[in-house]
Structure 1
Amino acid sequence: MNALTRINQFLLCETPDAWVQSALQHQALLLLDHANCEKKAASTALTLMYRYVGDFEMMHKMSRLAREELRHYEQVMAIMETRGIAYEQITPCRYASELRKPVRTHEPARFIDTLIVGAIIEARSCERFAKVAPHLDEELQKFYLSLLKSEARHYEDYLHLARKAAGGESIDDRIEVFLQLEKSLIESPDTEFRFHSGVLAA
């Protein structure tokens, strides 16, 4: 079973075709928000490295993840620049902030939940790259498909670290809480198009 198949089995829903159509109609915005997502992903990894010291495996994985996300950020910026797409400030969509609302506030539960959320975001990113890539021009298609391997590994790393942090206790119930919420965010209407938005409201 390849990584993308595992991700599709992990997530509770596919990206709706309507989102793909919106992405094709808003390609400049897709790239701009994608750049922001890569920057935020690197920031999240660095925050975990600062907040939770001592676990060498986690710190190594987050360091590598941050470097890769910043490299992706640079690659998206380069594509934007060659296409004359301005890098403007835009508001983030509700996806990540809503997904983090059930995160518990005491440790180690906060750490475990944060890692679960990271796994889900990376999984959805990977799924969306694969879903939209066949419909894009050759340059973007090649770029987005090139991201699948690292994004899939990021998902697996986050999930592995979450299970490790739980110390042998099952976290399946917590994963289900966040997956159910994620499904509702992906399938419900959104007012603005973003990389992780739901379907645009009519």
Structure 2
Amino acid sequence: MESSQYASLLAPINAFIHCSTPDAWTQQAVKKAHLPVLLIDHCNCELKAAQSAMYLIRKYAVDKESGDALLAWLKPFEDFIYRKQGNWQELADHEKLNKSMIPKSGTPYGQELIDKMVLLIKEELHHFYQVLEIMASYGLTYESVGSSRYARGMLRHVRTYEPQALIDKLICGAYIEARSCERFAKLAPHVDKSLGDFYISLLRSEARHYQDYLTLAQKIAGGDITDRVQFFGAVEAELILSPDDDFKFHSGIPKVA
């Protein structure tokens, strides 16, 4: 994988994250018994990524009318996941936002935040649908799964005052996207070709997502954020390298009996 055409995408990601995925996680992840939870959790991760990006737009960049339009955009996906309403095949009709987002006054970074996050949401919702398609091809149906400690472990270090809270959230988003990209690359050679090809297809967008988050964090901070980036890198690495009771897409080293 590292010597392939994707090496140029993976090199900055591997330099950004503070550790590689441990072999112990990969060895568990490629077991067929873990395929359902891996795909279901991946599905959840795509929706959560869209929700997180939408939250940032609604909280920091747009007025209530635009915020309501964003909520309506996401509603069919949330209805399917949380309320068991509708069917996944119909979600392809809801992947596009049909209203232009205009930043509210007083947000100098508002338009860039909107532009980057709306594109991210579109891509994450499309990936969400693609994972559901793949699950169907394996005869798997969506089931609710609990959240992992990973995102919680990152976000609990976010500062509580602005704009530092927004900067920290963006840095966390960068690490989550970068780790996703690294794990897709780790998994791709060891799974069925169709699934491996799908993981490889995600690398380009995921690689750009982490860079978009970092670019926004830097612009909003208006100064050097290296220390904060390094801080969250250490937090993220600790979550990846420490033992984890619950196997998930972003979990740490599995505790195996």
Out of 58, 62, 68, the residue aligned to residue 117 of structure 2 is 62
Out of 224, 234, 241, the residue aligned to residue 187 of structure 1 is 241
TM-score (norm 2): 0.77
List 4+ stretches of structure 1 deviating above 4 A. Answer: none
**1:174 corresponds to 2:228:** yes
- 1:131-170 mapped onto 2 (5 Å cutoff): 131-167=186-222, 169-170=223-224
- d(CA) in 1 for partners of 2:226 and 2:252? 25
Cα deviation, residue 147, structure 1:
0.1
| 1:24-70 per-position Cα deviation (integer Å, ceiling 9, x unaligned) | 12111110100000000000111111011141011011000000000
2:134 alignment partner in structure 1: 79
AA of the residue aligned to 1:150 = S
AA of the residue aligned to 1:3 = L
What 5-or-longer segments of structure 1 have no aligned partner? none
**1:27 corresponds to 2:22:** no
Question: Secondary structure of the residue that 1:170 maps to in structure 2?
Answer: coil
- d(CA) in 1 for partners of 2:168 and 2:201? 28
**63-72 or 46-55, larger mean C-alpha shift:** 46-55
- d(CA) in 2 for partners of 1:60 and 1:145? 25
Q: CA RMSD in A?
A: 0.9
- d(CA) in 1 for partners of 2:15 and 2:225? 17
1:121 alignment partner in structure 2: 176
1:91 alignment partner in structure 2: 146
AA of the residue aligned to 1:79 = I
- d(CA) in 1 for partners of 2:137 and 2:13? 32
Cα deviation, residue 114, structure 1:
0.4
- d(CA) in 1 for partners of 2:168 and 2:245? 28
TM-score (norm 1): 0.97
What 5-or-longer segments of structure 2 have no aligned partner? 1-6, 62-102, 104-109
Identity %: 52
**21-30 or 152-161, larger mean C-alpha shift:** 21-30
